[in-house]
Structure 1
Amino acid sequence: MTATSDGTPKVAIILGTRPEIIKCAPLIKACDRRGVDCLLIHTGQHYSEDLDQVFFDQLELPTPDYNLEVGSRSHGEQTGRMLEGIENLLEAHTPDIVLVQGDTNSVLAGALAGAKSNIDVGHVEAGLRSFDREMPEETNRVVTDHVSDYLFAPTEETKRYLERESVPGEIVVTGNTIVDSLYEYRDLAAEKSDVLNELNVAEDDFYLLTAHRAENVDTRDSFDRLLEGVSRFAAQTDREVVYPIHPRAQSRLDEFGLAVPEEIRTIEPLDFLDFLRLESAAALVFTDSGGVQEETCILGTPCVTLRYSTERPETAYVGANCLAGLDPDDIVEAGTMMLGKCADWDVPFGDGRAAERILDVLAVGAEPDAAEVPT
């Protein structure tokens, strides 16, 4: 990577959703520690400014230099608007490298804008594969990996996927930055968050549910079966389910006229520390989120994934997670298998120094005594 004219490398970090804020936070902070000029571009893909700002505040991150405020649109229109806006900013600021994280439309737009501007692109969390091309995120992952110059794979498994596809960029196993974030903030969440008292739930005496994916909530039958399976398991085990409901999911409930079963309590979306506290304290988590599969694995909370495929198979390999799909009987069976499981699994996503390794690979700044790359 070539430095800017004054010898100081400039890194552009592009993000657009709250999971990306959490996973990019260690990179932003590592750049700050190393005195690296960091251009922070927010696409506005998650368009609730108030919720986003809470995440920046709690993670003690600087306000983005730019917010494109793209908002919710079709995949093509959203990605196109991001691509145009990011390209203009890259042309104006000429960073040395563009860093994107994950698999959203913001990631795809950022990677394409960087590649078309002849700027090196680094993909953080490269190589994830669900092998389900019906997922738009899978297309985003594959395309981003194939236009990136640096592929920061979180595990050896993801490295092997990239090698099989013969991607042209440099592949380095760094661990996952979500470990960096959770190791830094989990104690703070336990200390600062009062969400258990606010919801009147006791540790290990409730379940947590997240469900927002299009394939699960955009059809009435799928959403109904998901809710039936989770609520049936909750009734059988005499526990309540807390469901911080995504705006997309709430709009679908209203549209379909679906009643939420009495065992499931819907609440407003939560800030980072409150959600982290619930993840840590829940007896079991039901989710369709890839990020939540990682987080529960790291935090030692058993997880049931309400999907038929996952791009985080390592969580299942170590015994922290299982795939249930959407059949109510299968959800109950999976919940029974995972409830009370001892969290003695090894965390497969690294040791919490992924951000430092990434900047070391890019030769950006200097951090003494960097740890060795995990295996």
Structure 2
Amino acid sequence: MTHHDMWRRDDAAKTVGSLRRDMLSSRETERVPLAEIGGRTLASDLVADADRPPLSRATMDGFAFDATDAYPLRLREGGIFPEDSPPTLESGEAMRISTGAPLPDGANAVLKVEEATVEDGLLSGTEISPGTYTYARGSNVRAGEVLFQAGERLSPKDALLLRDLGHESVTVHTRFSVGILATGTEFHEGRQPDLDSPMLAGLVRSWGHDPVYEGSVPDDYDTVTERIAALAADHDVVVTTGGTSVGKKDHVINALTELGEVLFHRVAIRPGKPIAVARLDDYDAVALAIPGKPVGAHTITSLVARPLFVGETTLPTVSARLARDIGLGAPGFEYVVPVTLEDGEAMPLGHVDSSLAVYDEVYNPSVLSSSTRASRADGFFITEEAVSSGETVNVVPYTAVE
């Protein structure tokens, strides 16, 4: 297989995202309180049933009146506080008002205290326009607006608007159960540590789902196949590590082909190229086969597998100046280059001038993919062309994908 036969990253990520939509369409739901919505997937659209705020309110201590009236204005006795039901103001009248208090009928603006003068019961002050220092009714939300859509992944900040809409809890889809299986005799026999499984479990958990470490299997085709089948019967998603290449002991792809339909195998990206994704329809499950090199495993899982869990393919970036020239190897790939960030400058972690000297000027993703110290990078940028020192690169912070 040449790199021309490989999938592009965007196409692979979109395909994975479509699997998520299929899974959610028949998924069970549950109610959760707003304090627990972070990372959860909304089960249905949420529509505003009323204007918010329901009343116009003052955003400053001062005087409420109709800003189209001319000074001086007659000042009514008393004041309006947040808990009050205010009286109606007549034309030419004003009334003291506190921050957060509802505007009385007949008022459309607030003159703040510092700009006001009161003499003999008459108010004068700075000329203001309607709407000054007011939080107008319906300016936040209009009744009938669809504010949250089914399938949307919620975050803690969403509790602010949800509570304002009157919700104490919302209906979400149950979390995906994810079985994680390490493949490789070296791991199964304890001769090498399994580096990937704890990292993958942490990613799945950070994306709002329930990972379960299901141990390891040796490099034996029948054992690999039987174990994947058993996990597919127990979990919504099976994530395997290692065994995704074409060596004599790499059995995962053939096992997935026997158990279901491999949608793609290999993505034109380095590191992390040998990823595979399969539908296991007989088990009502999805399988993600992640390559074994640790940094490559994190990279490709974050870029291609993540949409299955969060429903997002976009990647937020920050701009930085590249600190060193970066040359590339074979054309036709997207190269993911880890960097550290300092004072707006991106130093390629792994470059000979960085704290991890793995390559000179030509980026070496194969070696870097095995270097666990590369995980100390702050983020990465993606490029298909060589980049010169001083050029601007768009860095994806690791915090944005974890």
Confirm or deny a common fold (TM above 0.5): no
Structure of larger gyration radius: 2
TM-score for both structures, normalised by structure 2: 0.28
TM-score for both structures, normalised by structure 1: 0.30
Q: Indicate the structure with greater strand content.
A: 2
Q: Indicate the structure with greater helix content.
A: 1
